[in-house]
Chains A and B, each alone.
Chain A
Amino acid sequence: MPDSQPKRSQAASQAAQPFEPRVVAFLCNWCTYLAADLAGTSRMKYAPNVRVVRVMCSGRVDPQFVLDAFAHGADGVLIGGCHPGDCHYQEGNYKALRRCRLLKCMLRQMGIEEDRLRLEWISASEAERFRWVMNDMVERLRTLGPFRLRYPEDIVEEVTR
Chain B
Amino acid sequence: MAEKPKVAFYGCASCGGCEETVLDLGEALLDVAAAVEVVFWPVAFDFKRNDVEAAADGAILATFVNGAIRTTEQAEMAHLLRRKSRLLVACGACSHLGGIPGLANLFDRKSILESIYCESPSTINQKGVLPGGQSRDNGRSVELPRFYQTVYTLDQVVDVDYYVPGCPPTPKILHSALRTLLGGELPPKGTVLAPDQALCEECPRRDSKPENLSLNQFKRLPEVLIDEDQCLLGQGVLCLGPATRAGCEALCIQGNMPCTGCCGPTSRVRDQGAKILAALAALVAGKEAAEIDHTLATIPDPAGSFYRYSLPCCLLWRKTTRDSQTR
Q: What residues make up the interface of A, taking CB atoms closer than 8 Å to B? A: 1, 4, 62-64, 66-68, 70-71, 84, 94-95, 97-99, 101-103, 105-106, 109-112, 145-155, 158-161
Contacts and interface: CB of A to CB of B under 8 A. Distances in A.
Contact of B320 (A64, A112, A158): A112
B149 A153 contact: yes
B325 A147 contact: yes
Give the one of A4, A66, A112 with max B CB within 10 A.
Answer: A4
B289 A97 contact: yes
A67 B318 CA distance: 12
A140 to B, nearest CB: 16
A110 to B, nearest CB: 5
Given A102-B280, A146-B325, A4 B303 contact: no
A159 B69 contact: yes
B10 interface: no
Given A63-B277, A67-B314, A67-B316, A97 B292 contact: yes
B282 A64 contact: no
B281 A95 contact: yes
Contact of A106 (B148, B302, B322): B302
Contacts of B269: 64
A106 B148 CA distance: 24
A151 B299 CA distance: 28
Nearest to B157: A159
A109 B325 CA distance: 16
Given A102-B280, A109-B303, 9 more contacts: A62-B274, A62-B275, A64-B269, A97-B292, A98-B281, A101-B293, A102-B281, A110-B316, A152-B149
Contacts of A1: 155-156, 270, 313
Interface in B292-322: 292-293, 296, 299, 301-304, 306, 313-322
A4 B269 CA distance: 12
Contact of B281 (A4, A99, A147): A99
B281 A101 contact: yes
Nearest to B318: A150
Given A102-B299, A147-B325, A84 B287 contact: yes
B296 A101 contact: yes
Interface residues of B, number: 49
Contacts of B271: 63-64, 67-68
A149 B316 contact: yes
A43 B260 CA distance: 51
B278 interface: yes
A60 to B, nearest CB: 10
B256 interface: no
Nearest to A154: B148
Q: Rank and list the top 9 A-B pairs by shortest CB-CB distance, nearest first.
A: A150-B324, A152-B150, A63-B274, A67-B315, A109-B303, A111-B320, A106-B302, A98-B281, A99-B281
Contact of B274 (A64, A84, A94, A147): A64
Given A71-B315, A106-B303, A146-B325, A98 B292 contact: yes
Contacts of B155: 1
B284 interface: yes
B325 A148 contact: yes
14 contacts: A1-B270, A62-B274, A64-B275, A97-B292, A101-B281, A102-B280, A111-B319, A112-B316, A148-B325, A149-B316, A152-B152, A154-B148, A159-B156, A161-B79
A124 B182 CA distance: 61
A95 to B, nearest CB: 5
A101 B320 CA distance: 20
A4 B270 contact: yes
Contact of A109 (B72, B157, B296, B302): B302
Contacts of B317: 149-152
A64 B307 CA distance: 13
A102 to B, nearest CB: 4
B274 A67 contact: yes
A154 B79 contact: no
